[in-house]
Structure 1
Amino acid sequence: MSRNAALVLIRADASPAKGTGHIMRCLALAEALRDQGAEVAFATAEITPSLAGRLADEGFAHHSLAGDDPAELLDLARRLGASGLVVDSYWLDADWRAAVRPGFRVVLALDDLADRALSADLVWNPAPGAAGLPYGTIAPGAELLAGEPYLLLRREIRLAAAGPCLALAERVSILLTFGGSDPAGLTVPVVKRLAPLLSVGVRLDVVAGGSNPALECITAACGRFADRVRLHVDSREMGALMAAAGLAVTAGGGTVAELAALGVPSLLAVVADNQVPAADDARARGWAAVIEARGDRVAAADAIVAKALALWANLSARSELARRIAAGGIDGQGAERVAKALLKRLS
């Protein structure tokens, strides 16, 4: 790495309560920044052991913070010589953002909510309606990186999307993933209900995070159906698992964009309020079937299983979802575009 390379500090967190999506999409950006010659370091107040291990394995420096004191981050940035900052958090408020802004030449805010002042030079929101949100008010003068061209996809997803894939009719696996931490606790009840009803020869691939507080229960539930269920913990092969799936059952979040990039017909379970806009958009465009999963866990699991089985039995419906996804034209270059925009400001 060049001694003159820009150093970008990424501030994000991950926990069973907060989920892992913020770190994972920042990982996609970190890969692209490094590919374009920058150095990258992560700073977290909370992170799961599995994700800390992943950052280490990927060769990214990671610094633990005692909390959300702006002075602590600014001190770290001075010691590292960081000139750029990426902030991806629902929990760091407008006062925190204003306090850290003077310590960096360029600040990029990854945002989904448009609900606070961002104190940023660039704002990222890949949602289709992002350009209509009030960023001119909460981030005056900021460059807006809006819409699907800026979707952040990790290298493993991009490579899988570019590779060969089985015809939908030849795929025999259903992918089940409710995120790294599954805060709604749906994995176990869905596995217990869905696995016994699968036809002979159909496989259920279950993905769970290593720091999921229910991992022991998930492991036991999957073990009951070892002939048809495979459990993948902290999988580094998500691209391959997605590409092999004839149907994905997932919560909303970053996984939705990854599945869309691979053209996988999907059933989206809305488990949090902030997933509603993306889920509504996917349903309106015919990219996915959507089911309400907020509220009673048992009722949600029953509904998810019933809809998943109906979709699996209807190849033409799944083929139509895949066709509409392909027509959407996600090109997988979003991380490269975001990294380029940030580094241009730092050059």
Structure 2
Amino acid sequence: MPSVTIYTQFGDYINPNIVNEAIKSLGFDEVYDITYACEIVTEITRKEIENVRKPAISPFCPSVVRLINASYPELMEHVIKVLTPIEVAAILIREKYRKMGFKDEEVGVFFLTPCVGWITKVKNIQKNTKSQINGAIAISDVYSKILRYISKNNKNIETNGTVAMSYSGLRWATVGGQSTSMHFKEHIDVDGVKNVIRVLDDIEKGKFDDVEFIEAHACTEGCLGGILLVDNPFNAKRVLKKFSSQLNFTNRMSKISEHYKNEFLSDGYIKTSKGLKLADDFESAVKKMKYMNEIINMLPGIDCGQCGSPSCKAFAEDVVRGFSKVEECIMLKKGVKNYEG
């Protein structure tokens, strides 16, 4: 299941069929179009928003949900209890292969992600529930192989004309894409952790009661600014705009059954991020707490969110739990040892 951001990473428009063939060359049997799942989540969210306190907050960005859970727990009642398109897509894939006679353990479902936050989230889900997703793979880890395949086979692959994708689903990769797809009149679209914090602070103070929907992204420029991508996010945004003229956009959304409505509604992402212990026994927990404090002192304290965690403290906690590695801190890579501001 590739994030749609992968199609924007090659400097200019590349037919998605070619990119999909390149992905399959890595050893995958099928590439699933997540934009269809975005349509499903869009329709469910437009109805489910009535059941949460306003302003309703999108659960799409895992780093934002973790930030709310850790620092603004009273705002969790504002988060819409619907699964993300990635989780919905995984459920649909599982269902498809079960009908084909495959057992769950015979099928591996992986998300090609632009975001470290999703790698952490998948590991969290796997630890606490039976996940439909086997793992998350960084786009940057497979990018060179995909690019090499495209460069070698670009002219030889049959593109089959236009590609059918969901326009509204594709726009989910950009800031404001969700809000626009759902046709909300009063909405706030915000990107970057520090800006998200300003908005959450104001919600906590009782502001924005007249706002229907908050679309919040930890990464600047939304998913296009994910740390696990390669191309400049602003160029990726330009490339994404080209899709509107190159692709045969379709709306494949028919009436959603009550079964799917119930299956795709969940507060599981809230439960899995609460009350996690560092260790089962006291001695190990103390050792891990000490190690966590050492990591916190090593980090720059910027809370930039580019590691996929909402804060340096949360990142240190992820490292101790084995969900992340210290070298995934982009500021340490850049040589930023401390921060004064």
With normalisation by structure 2, the TM-score equals 0.25
Higher relative contact order (CA 8 A, sep 6+): 2
The structure with the greater share of residues assigned to strand is 1
With normalisation by structure 1, the TM-score equals 0.25
The structure with the greater share of residues assigned to helix is 2
